[in-house]
Structure 1
Amino acid sequence: MKSVTVHDLVQRFSFEVLSGSEYMNAVIPKPRVNRPGLEFVGYFDFFPHAHVQVLGSKEINYLHKLSEAERNLHIGNIAKYHPPCFVVTRNLDGLTYLKKHCETEKIPLLRTSMPTARCVELIDSYLAKALAPEMAVHGVCVNVSGIGILLRGKSGVGKSETAHTLIRRGHRLVADDIVVLKKIGPETILGTHSGKTKEFLALRSIGLVNVSRLYGRSAFQDETRIVLDIELTKWQDNALNNELELEPKFTEYMDIKIPHIEIQLQPGRDVAGLVEAAANNWYLRQQGYSAAEDFMKRLQSDD
């Protein structure tokens, strides 16, 4: 798991640093922000002190209405837990008392012009991805008609060439060679690139190509939710199944099961087309449609 500091947060969102610039290396260990409310009235039993503390109009207006002694008490009770930082939204001012406590407890105080709800949403999303458990797998990640697919297989089997064909058909590359998988929820795996390989696709006999420069910006996207794991394998006679509906298989990544499909390769076989079919068929299943069930109903209606 990567670490995120207050400095990373400031760089990401261009926050104004009101105080504590010398404490920018403070680590943010938890992915969700907290808006202190109950804490201002003295309830600290479940105070998430390791989270970024966001103060919006409600919190600041409440503090402004208190006496100096009450403000010092309420803010001091929170500051003594040493949260990573405070973020004040909507460019709210009159924060002298807040600066004093932050300076005393060595806590960075940040400010932004963003509305509170938007600020919370963006920080939560950023921290959820940055602090998510992750692993790297060898393969190619593509987005086919809005559906994230991980293409795997032995070196030289044709993963990158298949991705190239998909890109030429209007789909998008996410990562080639090394795919970084991030667990951002109990059932959600996000696929992205390592940074260094961003936009690059390695094609045998051709070399590296930059898909954005070759085919336009729409040929690449930074990340996608992985919903299909497709393994490309060499052709084996009599090894293909011809059942109306195959038994579902899964590949597990960080305790999350992803539907798994094997596609065998053979000269002249439209592998990219089969990947498109697999993606579209997965989408139809999510809508509650099964081609096999539909076909069987038709047979039974003839009887």
Structure 2
Amino acid sequence: MKKVTIESLVQKYSLKVLAGENHLQKIITQPRVHRPGLEFVGHFDFFPTEQVQILGKKEITYLHKLSREERKIRIGNIVHYHPPCFIVTAGEEGLTYLIHHCTEQGIPLLVTKQPETTSEFITKLDAFLIKELAPEISVHGVCMNVSGIGILLRGNSGVGKSETAHTLIRRGHRLVSDDIVVLKKLSTQTILGTHDGKTKEFLALRSIGLLNVVRLYGRKAFQDETRISLDIHLTKWEKDALYNDLEQEYHFTDYMGVKIPSMEIQLQPGRDVAGLIEAAANNWYLKQQGYSAVEEFMSRVEADIMKPDRD
């Protein structure tokens, strides 16, 4: 998990610092921001003190309408809890009282410069913090985006993961990461796959060496991240190990408490493994839409059985 400082937010969103410039190295630990409301009228039972506090037009207008003494009490009650910082999205006019309180308590007071609504800024900042502060692990494998479906390719070293990824790239799909895949848990149902920075855009092929897929095949060959939908294990061919069932049941691999559907594809010279991965991705997508090829096939069989004999 990366450390996110107040200074990193200032740089990323071009925020103006009105107070607390000596405290920008504070670390943010919570992945969501908070917009105080009930706290202004004295209710602090559920006040998330470790979250970034956002003050929009609604909050600033309310504070402006208070008397000086009342405003001092309301703001003083909140800054007493020392949240990481305040970000104002309603402009910097008339914020002298906020500057005073934040300077006194050593709390950074920041103002947005971009012309966007408070809700838009909160959505953007929440998404950034959730991603940056998400629990993460690193696994050995290759991460690809195949027809919009995030796929994690795993298998023993030398089994052919990178070579398969190269074939997929040549077919128009996108590399996310080779060798080291960083998995981030964004929610109880979502795992995001990405690279570690060092391996960005690189694919290592035995007998060839290190390739930069963007330089070779253009920007369409790479993307920074993808939601993992399938975990595919590439294994060496074993005779009689696979069954020609009408429908293969998914197994599941657990990553930080999130179960990802997994399947096995065996490699053999001449076998179109990249094509099988494309088929697996597209079939998974159809299943999410409620379609089952087996159900359609069986309904056709039943319909044929029910037809009256035509002697």
User: Under a length normalisation based on structure 1, what TM-score does the superposition of the two structures give?
Assistant: 0.98
Kindly indicate whether residue 148 of structure 2 is the aligned counterpart of residue 143 of structure 1.
no
2:9 paired residue number: 9
Give the distance between the partners of 2:3 and 2:258, measured in 1 at CA.
Answer: 23
**1:115 to partner: Cα distance:** 2.0
**1:223 to partner: Cα distance:** 0.5
Kindly indicate whether residue 257 of structure 2 is the aligned counterpart of residue 251 of structure 1.
no
**1:12 to partner: Cα distance:** 1.8
Residue number among 197, 200, 215 corresponding to 2:217 in the alignment = 215
**1:146 to partner: Cα distance:** 0.7
1:81 paired residue number: 81
Q: Report the AA paired with residue 110 of structure 2.
A: L
1:125 paired residue number: 127
Kindly indicate whether residue 237 of structure 2 is the aligned counterpart of residue 235 of structure 1.
yes
**Count of residues paired in the alignment:** 303
Q: Report the AA paired with residue 226 of structure 1.
A: I
2:309 paired residue number: none
- In structure 2, runs of 5+ residues without a counterpart are 306-311
Which is further off, 61-70 or 6-15? 6-15
- Sort the Cα spacing of 1:75 and 1:146 in 2 relative to 1 into closer, same or farther, 3 A: same
1:283 paired residue number: 285
Give the distance between the partners of 1:62 and 1:163, measured in 2 at CA.
Answer: 56
4+ residue stretches of structure 1 with deviation over 6 A?
A: none
Give the distance between the partners of 1:82 and 1:285, measured in 2 at CA.
Answer: 49
**1:90 to partner: Cα distance:** 3.9
2:61 paired residue number: 61
Q: Report the AA paired with residue 93 of structure 1.
A: E
Q: Report the AA paired with residue 280 of structure 1.
A: N
Indicate if the aligned counterparts of 2:55 and 2:90 stay in contact, CA closer than 8 A.
no
Structure 1 counterpart SS, 2:35: coil
Q: Report the AA paired with residue 95 of structure 2.
A: L
Give the distance between the partners of 2:63 and 2:51, measured in 1 at CA.
Answer: 20
**1:278 to partner: Cα distance:** 0.3
Indicate if the aligned counterparts of 2:151 and 2:232 stay in contact, CA closer than 8 A.
yes
Q: Report the AA paired with residue 102 of structure 2.
A: C
1:302 paired residue number: 304
Give the distance between the partners of 1:158 and 1:18, measured in 2 at CA.
Answer: 55
1:206 paired residue number: 208
Give the distance between the partners of 1:91 and 1:159, measured in 2 at CA.
Answer: 52
Q: Report the AA paired with residue 110 of structure 1.
A: L
Give the distance between the partners of 1:269 and 1:94, measured in 2 at CA.
Answer: 70
Structure 1 counterpart SS, 2:30: coil
Q: Aligned residues: percent identity?
A: 68
1:163 paired residue number: 165
- In structure 1, runs of 5+ residues without a counterpart are none
Bigger Rg, which one = 2
Give the distance between the partners of 2:56 and 2:223, measured in 1 at CA.
Answer: 33
CA-to-aligned-CA distance 1:93-136 (integer Å, 9 cap, x gap): 21110000001110001110332111101110011011111000
Q: Report the AA paired with residue 80 of structure 1.
A: H
1:19 paired residue number: 19
Give the distance between the partners of 2:210 and 2:91, measured in 1 at CA.
Answer: 46
Q: How does 1:19-38 map to 2 (within 5 A)?
A: 19-38=19-38
- Tell me how large the CA RMSD over aligned residues is: 0.9
**1:60 to partner: Cα distance:** 0.5
**1:10 to partner: Cα distance:** 1.4
**1:248 to partner: Cα distance:** 2.1
2:51 paired residue number: 51
Q: Report the AA paired with residue 15 of structure 1.
A: L
CA-to-aligned-CA distance 1:173-220 (integer Å, 9 cap, x gap): 100000000000010000000011111111111111111111111111
Give the distance between the partners of 1:251 and 1:193, measured in 2 at CA.
Answer: 20
Indicate if the aligned counterparts of 1:57 and 1:92 stay in contact, CA closer than 8 A.
no
Q: Report the AA paired with residue 156 of structure 1.
A: G
